[in-house]
Chain A
Amino acid sequence: MYIYLPIAEVSVNLIILFGMGGAVGILSGMFGVGGGFLMTPLLIFYGIPPIVAVATEANQIVASSISGVVAHWRRKAVDFKMGTILLMGGIIGSFLGIKLFAILKNIGQIDLIISIAYVLLLGAIGSLIFVEGISSILNTRNDKAPHARKRKDRTWAHTLPFRVRFKKSGLYISVIPPIVIGIFVGILASIMGVGGGFVMVPAMIYLLRMPTNIVIGTSLFQIIFVTSLVTILHAYQNQTVDVMLAIILMSGGVVGAQIGAFLGHKLKAEQLRFLLGVLILTVCAKMMIELVAEPQNIYVIADVF
């Protein structure tokens, strides 16, 4: 069953797209990852123009993050003050990212940069998750509890000026590190169409030393607003948000996330984590091959608007 996407200007198979949304939804339900970093490459592989894939995926993440944040909010696991500071950085980053996107698009290298960014990012996350998954399997085998990390020690993030008290997180730190993290995530969101949770969450835990139970809720809070802004900016500047595609992905994602949450309870997600790592590395490898291998066609033909 084919459907014509008005902005991407291609006909796509509805079942396949819905299935892709569902599959990535299952992963996000199981592992609590946003899934943007898998969805965008899949869309590109399927033949959606990269600039449309990035912008539309940002739109989808808005929906999945909202449905995610509500649960955390009910458990009062969101540090709104920290979230707001991260968001301020995110807003700056989004504008910077969109500007960069426009420049790269004009010199005809945006597709390349999107691919390179994905190879680097997926390579890094994939190997981390893979290694962590393996070691957690080994740990449970040895029946050894993972080391409890000392959380109270200070990092360089705590020595900078402009300190503010974050009651919820029990922190008294400078606002500079959260703003910088926010900027970085905003740039990622606008160039790659990802939420950036996979960067923000570790940074909040290891750099800012935030308590782990409020980290995800807080990052989702920031992601909602950053991806909303990125969607609007892409729609305004590049006209590349395909609402039809976004709706298909959203509906697929909803179904998938429910299944994923159910499976997550049944299966030992810790042990499956290295499978996620393998999956991410596979996508990464495919993108890398496309960059390095001799292309079938050395001419790239595109419309001039």
Chain B
Amino acid sequence: MYFNRIIRTFIIALVCFSFSSKTYSAVNEVESDLVVQLDDPHIQIGSNFFGEELLIFGAFNNSDLSKSDIIIKVRGASKSISVRQKAKKYGIWMNSQNTVVDNVPSYYAIYSNRNIQRITAKDFLKENQIGLEYLEFKSNKKNNTSDIYREIIKKNKEGGIFTEKYTGVRIIGNKLFRASVQLPKDINEGSYEVSIYFFDDQKLVDRDISKVFVNKTLAGKYIYTQAKERPLLYGIICVIIAWIAGLLVAGLSRVR
């Protein structure tokens, strides 16, 4: 496990440096470009998936990064969630009010090299939904939504689904930046958008948007799609498996 990781980091470092030197040499031909590389744009949720890290690294031209700022935003597909408020009725806690909130990202991470508020203006953050407080949720209810929104953010932060890490982007040797974005174990399948914003002196200089795909591994995905698309057949197969298992056990205990 550790060995694997060491090897991987080593390879990445190698690729990284060859990459940076290439861009370095290409400077004269191509004017100012943000070069970004994702370690693995296809992530598999295996049957033993317990979290994965997404390595992002890149360089900006030949410029000295010591005065630059980088914000990385990783956002999963939006989904709708229902928030039910519990209330005590007849001595027990039951669900009462139901609020449906739309436009909630299934995953959201902000990684930067320092506090995003200091990197750029609030308007820009708001416009691009950078930062948990600037996430724009939509809801069918008008009042009390701020409590509910706060709760959604809190719950997701606990599960590592939403993160903000102002120390998440490291600048290596003033030439390269690198971030290791943690993907928690209960991550949803789908396409994730990775946006990288590059600032110089509070001004956006360049941005890069790429995609990462998170897939369930074959077995898990196969089971999931069968269960959703052919529910009747799936149910019958589940029962057949149970019958076979039961008969096998009965047969075994007879042999003894």
Contact = CB atoms under 8 A, between A and B. Distances in A.
Interface of A: 1-4, 6-7, 9-11, 59-60, 62-67, 70-71, 108-109, 111-112, 116, 224, 228, 231-237, 239, 241, 243-244, 246-247, 250, 254, 257-258, 291-295, 297-304
> For the complex, would chain A's binding face be called helix, strand, loop or mixed by DSSP majority?
helix
Given A2-B50, A63-B249, A67-B250, 19 more contacts: A9-B186, A10-B186, A63-B245, A63-B246, A64-B246, A66-B245, A66-B250, A67-B247, A108-B82, A232-B236, A239-B227, A241-B227, A241-B235, A243-B238, A244-B47, A294-B93, A299-B83, A299-B86, A299-B155
A301 B152 contact: yes
A292 B227 contact: no
Nearest to A237: B231
15 contacts: A4-B216, A71-B253, A116-B92, A232-B238, A236-B232, A241-B234, A243-B237, A244-B220, A258-B253, A295-B93, A297-B151, A298-B86, A300-B85, A304-B80, A304-B82
B227 A6 contact: yes
Contacts of B235: 231-236, 241
B227 A7 contact: yes
Interface in B208-248: 216, 219-221, 223-224, 227-228, 231-232, 234-239, 241-243, 245-247
Interface residues of B, number: 55
B82 A302 contact: yes
B26 interface: no
Given A67-B249, A108-B98, A302 B238 contact: no
B182 interface: no
A303 to B, nearest CB: 6
A59 B234 CA distance: 12
B148 interface: yes
Interface in B69-91: 79-88, 91
B246 A298 contact: no
A296 B179 CA distance: 34
Contacts of B95: 108-109, 111-112, 300
A299 B85 contact: yes
Contact of B93 (A241, A246, A292): A292
Contact of B47 (A3, A232, A234): A3
A246 B237 CA distance: 12
B14 interface: no
Nearest to B248: A67
A66 to B, nearest CB: 3
A304 B81 contact: yes
Interface string B109-144: 000000000000000000000000000000000000
